[in-house]
């Protein structure tokens, strides 16, 4: 029969050590780190035993006191455990007999037959404790194995375990599947082992573009990580992208897919940042090697918004009514608009839909962040793209960006804002979604899964699958909009002037199949 290796909390527990010599002192030394309240009973307390007092001074709940006299059985009353370590077999026997009768755990040094528990060989590193027992048959073997284990422990293992203890409550509180929680903890542990320490001293570097909107979205990811993982330190790192630098060409003419994402991916690959924050609609269909989207935040406003100068004209609608009281196709006094209505947009999707839905509309390229585009609308021309004096009567912007920057129709009294119906004016695939990209299978990737929104992630995957099936990307005149309606998913897809709508069960596999089917339908249809 062997001895089961129970691990018990002896902090504050009463322990009695019978014996005051070197053997007893070694037992006290091993017990001290676990915070018991020990009483040593012996007619002689040797200096090596008294030296153990210093081990207890740091812990107010632990104590070591001495009773320098002969042992009495009354010394064992109320004890939680007892160790007999005298050189007198008869005294050790009395201690064992009494403890056995009173059901007090007892260890008699070098006499396995009189023990109810064994004192293991210990490896102790921070919160790590390894107990080694040979059932008392070979203390030498136990000592050999203890040294072997101690010499081969990973560097910094004590700090790593303490760090894992700090983060575990946060991870266990995440509203994700148990398998996801295990994966997060596993990835973090492996990264700590690689670094040789807890990674709490590192900052998670959040890469982003430098526009106001991009910085706002990065701050939203930062806040989500802090809320989920209070132990994390984070910082935002600005990466300047090709799409930001080139402002005199439409995105479709820059000659590179994912112009806003490529530099962020490079920064990830080269270790400048730990994660990249994207407007999901700007992502290329194929990510850089080794990269993956590991989190999406809850979806924001999916609509496009027509913005005009305050009191300005509106285009004449053909089936696309904004959710506004002002009728389209007229000045504010009701007079019909006969001349062309110029819309500023660099998006082929927006240009195509605007020209299809509204009469007397022409589209001109406009680039820049939201503030820049609003300024160009007010200034009345974009000298580099539309020609000197070319006026924009309106521009089309994503509603999510306007919402996140808290831009409203009352801003300086300069603008009117007309949200467009997404059923008629289809949004870009993944519009309104903030996506987080990381190195695949990294610890940060595992953390990011803890902040992802499940329903948004489902729609994100379905819309991306539709574009993939169409061999389209974010720079083309394509649209995909997936949403949950009661217990069904509904998907609208548009490409090359063709549209399709399908529904399916609220399941990822069903949604991906639906996306591929919608793409095939679009390919078969004639242009609308």
In the numeric block, which tokens belong to residue 174? 């995440």
Whether residue 498 lies in the annotated active site: no
Phi–psi pair at 294, nearest 5 degrees: -110, -10
Residue in the structure block whose two tokens are 């799409």: 243
Tell me which of 373, 376, 449, 464 is the catalytic residue: 373
φ, ψ at 96 (rounded to 5°): -65, -45
Q: What is the DSSP string of 64-100?
A: EEEEES---GGGGTT-SEEEE--S-HHHHHHHHHHHH
Residue keyed to tokens 């649209």: 479
Active-site residue flag, 187: no
Close Cβ partners of 284 (under 8 Å, ≥ 6 residues apart): 257, 258, 261, 262, 473, 474
Q: For residues 38 and 164, is the Cβ–Cβ distance under 8 A?
A: no
User: Alpha helix (H) ranges present in 272-430?
Assistant: 348-357, 370-379, 399-404
Which helix (H) or strand (E) segment holds residue 143: the answer is helix 139-151
81-84 and 63-68 strand pairing: unpaired
Evaluate the CA torsion angle 205, 211, 217, 223 in order and state its sign. positive
Q: Is 197 among the catalytic positions?
A: no
Verify whether residue 474 is a known catalytic residue: yes
CB 429 within 8 A of CB 463: yes
- The catalytic residue among 181, 187, 205, 281 is 281
CA–CA gap between residue 353 and residue 143 (Å, rounded): 79
Question: 6, 30 in Cβ contact below 8 A?
Answer: no
Q: Which of 266, 260, 264, 299 is nearest to 282 (CA)?
A: 260
Rounded CA separation 285/274 (Å):
21
Whether 350 is a known active-site residue: answer yes
**Cα-based distances in Å from 194 to 188, 205, 443:** 10, 18, 11
Query: Across the chain, how many H-helices and E-strands are there?
Result: 15, 22
Which residue(s) pair with 15 in the sheet? 38, 81
User: How many Cα neighbours within 13 Å face the side chain of 24?
Assistant: 30
Q: Is 209 a catalytic residue?
A: no
Q: What angle do CA 118, 121, 126 make, to 5 degrees?
A: 120
SS3 content of the chain, % helix, strand, coil (to 5): 35, 20, 40
192 catalytic per annotation: no
Written as six digits, the tokens of 202 are 């590192």
DSSP label of 336: B
Please list the active-site residues. Answer: 281-282, 349-350, 367, 373, 474
């Amino acid at each position: 029969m062997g001895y089961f290796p129970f691990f018990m909390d002896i902090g504050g527990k009463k322990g009695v050590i019978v014996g005051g010599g070197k053997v007893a002192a070694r037992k006290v030394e091993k017990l001290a780190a676990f915070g018991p309240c020990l009483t040593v009973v012996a007619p002689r307390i040797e200096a090596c035993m008294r030296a153990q007092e210093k081990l207890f001074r740091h812990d107010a709940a632990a104590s070591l006191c001495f009773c320098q006299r002969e042992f009495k059985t009354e010394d064992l009353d109320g004890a939680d455990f007892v160790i007999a370590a005298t050189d007198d077999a008869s005294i050790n026997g009395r201690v064992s007999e009494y403890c056995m009768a009173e059901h007090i755990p007892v260890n008699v040094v070098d006499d396995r037959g009189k023990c109810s528990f064994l004192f293991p060989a210990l490896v102790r590193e921070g919160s790590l404790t390894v107990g080694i027992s040979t059932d008392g048959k070979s203390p030498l073997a136990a000592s050999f194995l203890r040294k072997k284990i101690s010499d081969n422990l990973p560097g910094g293992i004590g700090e790593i375990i303490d760090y894992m203890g700090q983060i575990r409550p946060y991870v266990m509180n995440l509203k994700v599947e148990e398998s996801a929680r295990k994966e997060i903890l596993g990835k973090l542990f492996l990264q700590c082992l690689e670094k040789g320490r807890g990674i709490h001293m590192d900052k998670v570097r959040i890469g982003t573009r430098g526009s106001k909107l991009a910085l706002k979205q990065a701050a939203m990811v930062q806040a989500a990580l802090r809320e989920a993982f209070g132990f994390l330190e984070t910082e935002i790192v600005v990466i300047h992208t090709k799409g930001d630098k080139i402002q005199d060409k439409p995105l479709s003419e820059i000659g590179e897919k994912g112009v806003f994402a490529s530099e962020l991916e490079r920064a990830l690959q080269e270790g400048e940042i730990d994660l990249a924050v994207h407007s999901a609609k700007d992502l290329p269909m194929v990510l850089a090697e080794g990269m993956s989207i590991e989190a999406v935040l809850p979806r924001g406003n999916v609509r496009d918004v027509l913005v005009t100068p305050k009191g300005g004209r509106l285009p004449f609608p053909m089936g696309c009514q904004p959710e506004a009281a002002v009728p389209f196709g007229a000045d504010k006094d009701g007079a019909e608009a006969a001349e062309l209505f110029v819309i500023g947009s660099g998006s082929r999707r927006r240009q195509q839909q605007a020209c299809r839905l509204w009469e007397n509309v022409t589209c001109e390229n406009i680039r820049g962040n939201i503030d820049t585009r609003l300024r160009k609308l007010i200034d009345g021309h974009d000298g580099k793209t539309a020609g000197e004096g070319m006026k924009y009567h309106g521009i089309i912007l994503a509603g999510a960006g306007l919402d996140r920057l808290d831009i409203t129709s009352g801003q300086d009294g300069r603008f009117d804002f007309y949200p467009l119906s997404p059923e008629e004016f289809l949004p870009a695939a993944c519009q309104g979604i903030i996506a987080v990209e990381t190195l695949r299978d990294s610890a940060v990737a595992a953390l990011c899964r803890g902040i992802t929104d499940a329903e948004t992630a489902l729609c994100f995957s379905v819309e991306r699958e539709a574009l993939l099936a169409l061999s389209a990307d974010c720079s083309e005149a394509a649209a995909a909009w997936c949403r949950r309606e009661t217990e069904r998913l509904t998907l609208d897809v548009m490409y090359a002037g063709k549209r399709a709508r399908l529904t399916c069960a609220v399941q990822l596999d069903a949604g991906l199949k639906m996306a591929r089917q919608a793409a095939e339908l679009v390919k078969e249809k004639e242009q609308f």
